[in-house]
Structure 1
């Protein structure tokens, strides 16, 4: 009998991710993926602002980890924002990493190490990093705070963690679901209607994908931002923004649909000056081409 959402363990979710990201249709999607529709401009804007801030405090090349990085989306953006950065790409799927290696070879990208490991195993090993990135990753874990605590233990003195492109609870609101339906193509609309009227549509776990664990409810990002203080981290930035096709991100903020969030977290013991945080916010606001909001 399948487990209910609340009964799943971190081990269950890990196994679900192994199976999902080794499946043929997922692998083929990432093989063909060349950003045909989604620009993810927030990656470039946020990563550039944060790496510029960090590089001013370091006497060595920036050491970064793209953790649970899949085929390397965040790792490649990091290299474009900070070319001298030494990046380690970590993921548990060898098939995803194989795609990343192909891209590295194709584009002759230097100083990206590729490591096959799950997040906790990697974070249990030795090593110190100035920047740890979770790109659309923390929703794959039952206890994101435990993950962030393990990551905090691997940070250098002035290091930071970035979480980016994870869903808030807004994704479960009726207005989001209605807008999603309006924006969907005809085939997707048919699938959504079919699911709506299927015999299992009223079941609690009807749309539950164990591998994408937190997307079942969405993440309460305010609660998460409060919780990180108990594990020795301090939010430097907390922002909500729209994500998706370019025309959608222009409309969504006016409908209250800044449904994705990003956190930039530093060690509480190493308080970043307010002037530095203010500049970070200004840099991001100046470069972001669509409306978003700081929390």
Structure 2
């Protein structure tokens, strides 16, 4: 049973130096006391350490932004990927349940095979194609196997101003290279870490701090910016906007070469359809999700500032 929630909860954030964790420090600061822990302070690969940290801090809310995200490397480091992405979320859920706390956890579009043409809803059949996807699905199932009050947010194509990501890489390559080749047959919605962090804060504020304890809407939700594009379309938008902001580019944004995914061999297979239907999230928490282009523009502004 959930304990009585304070108006200003204590919030534990794991992975505080990651793209999402970095933004959570900002978005959650107005809600309560935030314990922002990086890998050194809370190693999700060590269950005993995770339990000890949670039991010492006794947070009202746990936001798990830590993850093993090296998608290709996971193919040869499956044990570590499953420890961090599969086992640790279950440990956090057990501890949250014991404390009567809320757990917010992030998952991924990679739990789907991405073989059909419509945006995925939360109840679609899963079928991860990679070790990374399988490890993230294991984490979802570990949480579901407890009685914790938990929100699992599946998201896709995440990029933040803090850290390495596709948008930053394309911007750098556009400045340095004469030509670019980018995949055009995989589709999703570029989603900024700042949007994910802001939505997380809204969920905690509306549904946990001020919501009805008896009707707390635990479960899986899809969180992504509105609209969709290919990686090629994403790259084009990044460089077009950068050019408008005065960035000197060597490559013409409208002359990026479009290639199929099979022309860019990688250790881990990616889903061709990463689009996520976000209606459940929008309706449940009364949240507006902006078009992906707006997020990309905001992100480039942050990177350039």
TM-score interval w.r.t. the shorter chain? 0.3 to 0.5
Q: TM-score, normalised by structure 1?
A: 0.40
Q: TM-score, normalised by structure 2?
A: 0.39
Give the number of the structure whose residues are more often helix, by fraction: 1
